[in-house]
Amino acid sequence: MLQAIAQSVDGTALRWAAGCGLAAGAAYAMLRKKWDFKTRFEASVRVVEAAQGAYVGLSAARHLLMRGGPLPVVLVQRMAGYLWFDTLYECVLPLVKGTKLSIPFLAHHLVGLAAHGLAKTHIPLRAVTAHVYLAELSTPSLHISWFLKQLGRSRTTLYFVNGLVGAVAYLMFRVAWPPLFVYWNRDAKPWDAERAGVHAAFLMCSAVFWALNLFWFRKLVAMARGARRKAT
């Protein structure tokens, strides 16, 4: 796994990670001055996370609709760079907010970096990665909900509609799509036997992603139920 994580590092990934950091800094400078440091710090990174999710998710959807097949390696490199940036953020945020390190998020990112290291160097895996990236389509709405809540607009129609869209996208692309994709391709044999170990490792990483998404989806459902009971 450590070797796969190391393979995710290259010049393109590092430049993209640095660009994410610069974008977060610019967002911090432009955000509401009356917010305290902790809120502005978190908000600045959420801007980057939402933009990255939209970019990767829409790029993958367009790729699948237009031609399919393996993703361009540059998109995989950029996503790896973003994951390095976000991993650093997940380690720094607890120090800023005085909270505990999120082990599930850290595990998600480390496994993601390993998967990207494998996908970058094995072209057939990038065809599967295109479908994995569809999960990012649910990311922007999650952050928009956070911003609306910070602005005191959690009881508006916009908040409800955005939350509904996000929940449907999360259920569709992060929970339902992975097992459906595996089922529809159960008879496909696109990978050579010589690299069976690499492909098995990639599938294990994907299984971890799906399990974590199920874990977080249950938490989202519990939060929604709690909010509904509180409202009534």
Q: What percent of the chain has pLDDT over 70?
A: 88
Q: How far apart are CA 2 and CA 9, in angstroms?
A: 12
What pLDDT, on the 0 to 100 scale, is given for residue 141? 92
What pLDDT, on the 0 to 100 scale, is given for residue 196? 58
Range from 46-55, 116-125, 180-189 that averages highest in pLDDT: 46-55
Residue 189 has pLDDT above 60, yes or no: no
What pLDDT, on the 0 to 100 scale, is given for residue 57? 95
Residue 28 has pLDDT above 60, yes or no: yes
Q: Which of 221 and 20 is assigned the larger pLDDT?
A: 20
Q: Where are the alpha helices (DSSP H) in 122-195?
A: 123-132, 139-150, 157-169, 177-184
Q: How far apart are CA 5 and CA 8, in angstroms?
A: 5
What pLDDT, on the 0 to 100 scale, is given for residue 107? 85
Place of tokens 């809120």: 39
Q: Which of 220 and 20 is assigned the larger pLDDT?
A: 20
Residue type, position 130, single letter: A
Domain extent at residue 189: 2-231
Burial of 184 (0-12, 13-18, 19+ CB in 10 A): exposed
Place of tokens 């001055």: 33
Q: How far apart are CA 62 and CA 47, in angstroms?
A: 22
* Domains of the chain: total: 1
Cα atoms found within 13 Å of the Cα of residue 14, Cβ hemisphere only: 5
Q: Which of 215 and 50 is assigned the larger pLDDT?
A: 50
What pLDDT, on the 0 to 100 scale, is given for residue 228? 58
What pLDDT, on the 0 to 100 scale, is given for residue 19? 97
Range from 3-17, 116-130, 177-191, 214-228 that averages highest in pLDDT: 3-17
- Which range has the worst mean pLDDT, 8-12, 87-91, 98-102, 179-183? 179-183
What pLDDT, on the 0 to 100 scale, is given for residue 194? 52
- Please check whether residue 63 is in contact with residue 71, taking contact to mean a CB–CB distance below 8 angstroms: yes
Residue 164 has pLDDT above 90, yes or no: no
Q: Residue 54: which pLDDT band, with cuts at 50, 70 and 90?
A: very high
Q: How far apart are CA 147 and CA 159, in angstroms?
A: 10
Q: Residue 3: which pLDDT band, with cuts at 50, 70 and 90?
A: confident
